Structure 1
Amino acid sequence: MTRKVGEVMTSRPRSLPLDATLYDAAKIMRDEGIGDVLVTYAGRLCGMVTDRDIVVRAVAERRDTSVTPLGDVCTADLTTIRAGDDTAEALRLMREQAVRRLPVVDDAQRPVGIVTLSDLAEAGDGLLAPLADIRRAPPTL
């Protein structure tokens, strides 16, 4: 039985405005144990920044994370999904776009959640079951 994205997504994703700094995003990621922050402009989704983006697009280029705005390094071309869509559709989009997470938006493009490959594994897709075990393991940091 296919479930809806809204049943398995992480609700209330962390987001910051486009002009917030990379330092702001990194601090949230550290404090909350997450790997991504959604980027908004006037409350609407306009991008996503990941821990990897910060390292590859900022630190490795010697950018000052305390002044570099998220808009300079975030991924703006996002694939999104709606809470009412099936998890099978989420998995299809992840495969097609080669992504591990999809922002979940409402009709006005405001972020309402985020669904990850791990969320789909937890939802019970037999093919993804090994990922559920990895997600439950304590972090190695």
Structure 2
Amino acid sequence: MPQHVRDIMTGAPVTVGPYTSVAEVARVMRDRDLGSVLVTDGDRLRGLVTDRDLVVRSVARGGDPEETTVADACSEDLVTVGPDDDLDRAVRLMREHAVRRVPVVEDGHPVGILSLGDAAMERDPDSALGDISVARPNT
């Protein structure tokens, strides 16, 4: 039986506005134990920012994290899926576009995130990626 994205996605994604400082986004990620958040303008998806994006696109460029906005650090050319899309299609898109996280969008509004770890846990929970995906973070 085909499985749908909604069956394994992380719902109720954490979002920030495009003018939120990089420092604030980093604090949100730390406090919520997240590796990525969605950037929204109103209730419309504008981008996705990862912890790596914050480092590479902001900190490494010498920007002041309190003054630089997340709009300068997020990926805006996103691959998205719908909650009713087939999981196989979502995994294929992740592979084709070499992305680890895909926003789940319904009627233009973000409703979740599907991660490579989510897919790995569903497909092969005993794999190394599955193990890593459920492991507690190193702090």
Question: What TM-score does the superposition give when structure 1 sets the normalisation length?
Answer: 0.93
| RMSD of aligned alpha carbons | 1.5
Q: Aligned letter for 2:40? A: T
**1:29-70 Cα shifts (integer Å, max 9, x gaps):** 101111111001121001111100110111111101111111
How many residues are aligned here? 139
The separation in 1 between residues aligned to 2:26 and 2:125, in whole angstroms, is 32
The answer for the alignment partner of 1:70 in structure 2 is 70
**Misfit runs of 4+, over 2 Å:** 126-130
Aligned ranges 1:33-48 → 2 under 5 Å: 33-48=33-48
The separation in 2 between residues aligned to 1:94 and 1:63, in whole angstroms, is 30
The answer for the alignment partner of 1:7 in structure 2 is 7
The answer on 1:135 being equivalent to 2:110 is no
Checking the alignment, whether the CA contact within 8 Å between 2:124 and 2:130 is kept in structure 1 is: no
Question: What TM-score does the superposition give when structure 2 sets the normalisation length?
Answer: 0.94
- Percent of aligned pairs sharing the same letter: 45
Summarize the Cα distance change of 1:128–1:17 in structure 2 as closer, same or farther, 3 Å threshold: farther
The answer for the alignment partner of 2:57 in structure 1 is 57
Summarize the Cα distance change of 1:127–1:71 in structure 2 as closer, same or farther, 3 Å threshold: same
The answer for the alignment partner of 1:117 in structure 2 is 116
The separation in 2 between residues aligned to 1:117 and 1:138, in whole angstroms, is 17
Shift of 1:110: 1.0
Shift of 1:128: 8.1
Checking the alignment, whether the CA contact within 8 Å between 1:21 and 1:66 is kept in structure 2 is: yes
Checking the alignment, whether the CA contact within 8 Å between 1:10 and 1:113 is kept in structure 2 is: yes
Q: Which runs of 5+ in 1 are unaligned?
A: none
Checking the alignment, whether the CA contact within 8 Å between 1:120 and 1:128 is kept in structure 2 is: no
